[in-house]
Structure 1
């Protein structure tokens, strides 16, 4: 029965709205500015029919739902008001059928059932939407304020004579003036309270109810913005109500019942998010364009004193508005996303921003902070940490908003081609767990980051190789410097030793030979000659000893093994030389010289039972000197000599010197 009554109201509302359009067409063209801007043809008619229809749909599902009956009431009463207003204007201004008294009564009824009643009913709708209950018992006071405001307005109308009523001119008495002062502020205050209630309900709601309340908030915001736009434009153009000023408001009227009904019926809420998004963008763009266009036209016209063609002024204003709107477009789109999608928009805004930054941050030092910030903002985390694993180097870790030692509560690995490159971890605020949608978002972020991580890891690995090459180059340069210095020192020592042990015997030789000529063949001459021979032999032996360790002639003539045997026999060193058959052959001169130097230098401190082993293993000459007291030998000199020919020294065992030289 309730549903049938509601649909009867819808039918009557549609008939009255159609009658309103017919009456309006009798005294003014329907497409004229007066019909569209002042009377709202056809937008207001569509809105009232939509209110009644959406209300009937709600009543058909929930018979006693207050929002359904309030929407039916708004549509039905507004259709009566529209028809009565049209008839009153027809009679009063265009000599329509009927007496002046009948026109006054029609105008009085139009005011009684018109905008003030609709605003009061809308205030109650916003207070109880979407479930038909107040946010709390205290919010009933806001509904009382709205009803008192409308009661005061109705009382003001009761002080006027209906037969003499003029819509545009109210001759109020003291009581009527007092009631008018109370009525509109109370209704406005109740509406503001209803908006506050909607915002609070939106902040406290979750899930599907949050989507419902968001649609209601969007419908209210569209009407509020349209009213602001109307006031601004009318202020600019001197209070003249044009179609440009009222068009956004009239467009928002039909949206109101549609969004309310969808919110209450919960019908495909999420499918309408895109429509809401585009509607908000269109509304904000229209408001900006209207205000900017009107302001620029008036400003330019005032500057040029209307001496320029109106077409060129309009063209200039249009171009300037279009250029000015482009920088604001990003802000408008973000606002529309937040209104349409709520917190669901924030993660993907962060992901979109991260995608733009990803192309500009190839370096790990800038990539990791960008990934950490994007992950933290996407899921509204308290902090986030990103780790990049670089092969052969330490892990790189960055946190957002600041460096933290806390371990992430939840981590998602970053993989590329089956290889784990790092991880993204977050710490959520207390009392807010990580939702499945947040987990999926982090996985999407990890997938998007994988290629960048791979590039960053390769860059870090390459940088590590370059650094290692720099170190090796520096070490080789230092080794060469030591070799040159060692050669110089050896040369200087050899020169000093020759001067001390050889030249000291040979320098006085010419003078002593001259004295022998004078002495003849005496006994003293024979003794002196014997001394000269002894001194000469001593000098030659010293020279031989000095040159054996540096440039042994047998090394170049017979090879490494024979030169070492000769050295051991000549010096009487207590050591054994063992040469495998593979090593008893000739090697490159540099290899033989380096191995010989290593053995001779090591044998300087060899103990009893020392042994030299020569072998060839995998195309490398391996030399081992056992029984060496390494604290008494020049280890660095051995290392430099071996590394100079590409060999590798092994000096871990304190009684063993081992080198491996490629042959």
Structure 2
């Protein structure tokens, strides 16, 4: 949604008028008549206080904004109603209280319809934007005319008969109220429809308002059944929902205004509370100060001495609420160091971005690399929606990436102090990125080494089997032919017999070397080798079935050997430990790698047992993980329902040509974990 462009207008005149109304209310309550109020008080007072504060915040940030004006108008009407009710014996003011209590409801409904950009959500809802003010004005005008004949009793004493003219206008007002309530239900429906169709921040903004709108509409329908305490809650529900949307999603660029307003409100409450508490304590404990002059002086002195230290603490708390720990950069850096020190390499970058976003209350943090043209971040926390600033990440004078941080609101900028802090944090992020790159390079080097080793073994086996082996066999045949030719020289025949024996031993050892270099069964391909191998495990008590999918003919040697050995070891474990009647072996090649699954219906294995055997270096389970890990794959051993165990392995078929730091997960799910115990 587009924001309304600011226009130069100061709302100080509104503040002045509302201060005058507030003073009138206070004087009326303290010094004025004690008659029964001429109209509803609790809900109207809550609406006056909350709507005025919320509306002024919006107007200070975006002058002439429609939503801000509607909220201030609602608060002003409510304040006039409370002021009139407070001076019930003054007929003109009592007359005001008879009809000014209703317009705030229509104005709040209209503000809900136009939130947050001041425009109707669509053509189908434009009729509501016209019907709400018409119905609200009808009720207010009808009540105002009816109250001319009964300015102090129209809404207070229902037992007193009213004039025919007043009765007619009361019926008109009742019809207008029903129409206004129907319009409010329509506004609620529009919020629900907009929420269901929206996405991103707009959906979350509307979600902040929906509960408050439901409470507000239900309370108005309930009417007299709502008590004073509940009325106060209802009165602040809508402004509180708008405040939540503004605070959480940085609408209207209100950070500074909200900061100062919160500090001012808290300090006002503390000053008044401290003054009253000191005066009360003095009156209870020191009798000679009971005249009032001295106790006020003492209370004023106590408040004056404590004001500045308390204000600093309150300011620090409000800053922490809005900006996180930006005033304590050492704490942020220390927390980041602790998170990196306790995180594994795979989780370091997601936890780093989550920690920065949470500690400094920024909506989005991302880490990107300078490798290639891919702008996809390595790790990110939050959701982008506001302008971002980039901070270079350098290690040993070489830039390895950038730390992207979104501003807290669309028109906001970071302070110079915040930029220095983000620059320091980028250096820590650079170390994490460089560490991840080195670990990745090391892992890729190991994968290449393993694959090169197996390819070399396959080549060497082929050379020995097809070259040296036949050569030895040919030499042995030639020696036997010479032996048949030598008939008279027994000594020569004995030497030839010894030579033949040595050749046989050499051939046998060569066959052992060839078989140890690579399983002979794999010469016919992985699928055939597995089918031949697994027939050895077939029995009356165990049925082993093999299913294969995809092209398994041109797999790298290392992948073939690892897959063959993992499957053989897993089926061996099934026969020894599972007490199973069936075992299903699945081999599937996809575009990204080779997938293996060995599933049995045996007794199963507990996850704790798996972890314990892995820690003790158990050859079976540990070999699954080590063979998969050295090729860049992964292995999972888990119990399945209702019974049985599953061994699932994924092996990458191809190794990237250029080392790349792997893309890591989003870290939104880490924020909750960090908040529940991590520093």
TM-score, with length taken from structure 2: 0.35
Q: Of the two, which has the highest radius of gyration?
A: 1
Determine which structure has the larger helix proportion and give its number: 1
TM-score, with length taken from structure 1: 0.36
